[in-house]
Amino acid sequence: MRSPRVAIVSDTLDDTNGVAIGLRRLAAAANRAGHSVQLIGGAFKTAIDLRTAVGGAARPGEPDLAIDVRDDVVRIPAALSASLPIYPDMVWSVPELPPLVAYLSKHADLVQVSTPGPMGLAGMIAGKMLGLPVIAQYHTEVAEYAARMSGLPMLGAIVGPIVGWFYKQAELCLAPSEAVVQRLTSLGIAPDRICRVRRGVDLSLFDPGRRDRSLYAAHGGGPIALYVGRLSREKNLETLLAAWTIVHRTHPHARLCVVGEGPQRHAVKGPGVIDLGPAFGPELAALFASADVFAFPSETETFGNVVVEAAASGLPSVVASAGAAHEHVLDGETGDVVDGKDPAAFAAAMVRQFDDPLRRARMSAASRSHALGYDLAHAVSATMDIYRGVAGGRALEAAS
């Protein structure tokens, strides 16, 4: 059976986060392997009329297909756009439904929605209107994010059932981690409608061979702890900074190098804290490979791309025991898993990495070995098998 043409609809394809990076990585690798996976997102402010992308100019009575195609993303015109009050730098677009329906009718056999926002909801509606199978991947702890970013736990309790309703509409829910399986179950999704999906990283990009200690030379010759990720409240940066204050008292020459962007970037500061800004591709891979320990306190991960990237780079990690990030760390073998709410425990784990180079070297080798199980090509193949299974099952239904 041939692979179905898959349209992945998401609200967040232009942000620097694990959802966008993971989806772009999947689509690029799948298309290189000869499959058809198209990303669909909200439009840029200035749309480009590319009617030829959907089969020619609109005829009388048909919707105006002014679809913007850039950066390998099909962008649906926005009826309106607005930033989130609790996350001002994130702009969500409410798409015009007719162009989305018209595009999917010509170019998709299966729709995957990847965020329960306006684009995801529109993708769900459009897919069902067309009679296409619709599946959903759980990428983000939306309710937990809402509670943490707003500082209002009650908001999380309100958002949770809405998220649950969204995922219940899908024929199948994809879970990238055991933590997500448990979350979907808690939202009332039946176990037979939850499927674990593999994720992978580029093992040729993230490689210990890229180690170049001169990258950190300008910041002194001491040990380096590295954080890579969004700089936002939901990443539990308070624990990281409090832990680093403890570390710095006994290791004043050590440095905490922070790579990322986000609304809390201005607050990530302190003795020995170095703001490196965002980094991507070979530059990011070299920063991973050249550090001594990866420090990642987030308790809201649904997978944790950066933890696997660190491991692939031969970098031991210190991660929080809540969320999904710890699922990629063999405690005591490839890193340390600690209570993300305990700065002292987090600090002690980083110090132990700094002070025991033999242990760190063993963990470095074990990390790379463990990461080999996250080969991107294998992940893409497994994901396409899931797509074929869903599309094939629907075809058999229709034929019976």
- Three-state DSSP at 205 gives coil
Question: For residue 173, is pLDDT > 90?
Answer: yes
- Regarding whether 98 and 17 lie in a shared domain, the answer is yes
* pLDDT tops 60 at residue 184: yes
Beta-bridged to residue 91, according to DSSP, are: 83
Q: What is the mean pLDDT of residues 353-375?
A: 97
* 105 plus 244 within the same structural domain: no
CA distance 54 to 35: 19
- pLDDT (tens digit, 9 = 90+) per residue, 91-106? 667 889 999 999 999 9
Would 1 be classed as within a structural domain? no
Domain that holds residue 358: 208-374
Residue 325 pLDDT class (50, 70, 90 cuts):
very high
Terminal C-alpha separation, the chain: 18
Please report the pLDDT score of residue 163 as a whole number: 85
Q: 232 with 338, same domain?
A: yes
Do 240 and 362 lie in one domain? The reply is yes
Q: How confident is the model at residue 2 (pLDDT cuts 50, 70, 90)?
A: confident
**Within this chain, do residues 171 and 242 fall inside the same structural domain, yes or no?**
no
Q: What is the pLDDT of residues 278-297, one digit of tens each?
A: 999 999 999 999 999 999 99
In a domain, 386, yes or no: yes
Residues 174 and 239 in one domain: no
Are both 296 and 196 inside the same structural domain? no
Number of domains observed in the structure of the chain: 2
**Is 337 a residue whose pLDDT tops 90?**
yes
Give me the chain's average pLDDT, please: 86
Instruction: Give the per-residue pLDDT at 245.
Output: 97
> What's the CA gap between 184 and 300, in Å, rounded?
14
Give Cα separations from 221 to 259, 268, 285 (angstroms).
19, 22, 20
Q: What is the CATH number of the domain that holds 219?
A: 3.40.50.2000
The reported pTM is 0.85
> Distance between CA 323 and CA 303 in Å, rounded?
8
